[in-house]
Amino acid sequence: MILKDVSFNIQKGEFVYLIGKTGSGKSSLLKTLYADLELKEGDGNIAGFNLREIKEKEIPFLRRKIGIVFQDFQLLKDRNVNENLLFVMKATDWTDHKKMKRRLTEVLELVNMSTKGHKKPHELSGGEQQRIAIARALINNPELILADEPTGNLDPETSEEIIQLLQDITSKKTVLMASHDKYLMDRFPKRTIVCDKNHVFEK
């Protein structure tokens, strides 16, 4: 999906929904924001980086300023929760073991999962796995969280818990969440951006 006439700003500390039918370009837009897809025309600035001018070697540094939450959790199945989070830390150049342990404890407390560090993903419910995925996204204290249908695999009650958690962290972070769940958006109303027929506009 190629999007055109895209124009929007998101302020620090905002929670914003991104909605649209399947195939409308929501995921493509999110991928462009974290530089998985190239921005071909126009200008885009995110977390201090210019998406038109960003060099490949700069992309890992952009992604440290962005936390990404996926619908299917994408946790490493052969490692426990602590090991999943430590894997991300090592991959993003954390070396001080005391600081790593402290940060791991902090993010698990933020998502109310501080007692689950020894569990492997298959021992957790879907909602618990998504909480760990959010903890992982928070590891590097990002400026922005991009959430791509984070409640798509969850039951309604758990979905509400995850939305509440994401909205709770926007006092310090910015969250852009792709969703098609009208009930959740009515239950937790926030500013909404729409993808439709190759265009992006405010609802």
Q: Would you state the structure tokens that stand for residue 101, as one six-digit string?
A: 């342990």
Domain 4-202 of CATH type 3.40.50.300 = yes
Helix (H) or strand (E) holding 150: none
Cα angle 113-115-118, degrees, rounded to a multiple of 5 = 105
Q: Is the pTM of this model over 0.85?
A: yes
- At 51-100, the pLDDT tens digits run 999 999 999 999 999 999 988 888 999 999 999 999 999 999 999 999 99
Q: Which among 203, 163, 172, 175 has a CA at the least distance from the CA of 67?
A: 175
- At 176-194, the pLDDT tens digits run 999 988 889 999 999 999 9
**Cβ proximity of 93 and 171 under 8 Å:** no
**Cβ proximity of 159 and 184 under 8 Å:** yes
**Cβ proximity of 40 and 53 under 8 Å:** no
pLDDT of residue 34: 92
**Cβ proximity of 196 and 161 under 8 Å:** no
Whose tokens are 């070697």? That residue is: 57
34 vs 175: CA distance, rounded Å: 13
First to last CA, the chain: 20
Domain map of the chain by residue range?
Answer: 4-202
Helix (H) or strand (E) holding 163: helix 156-168
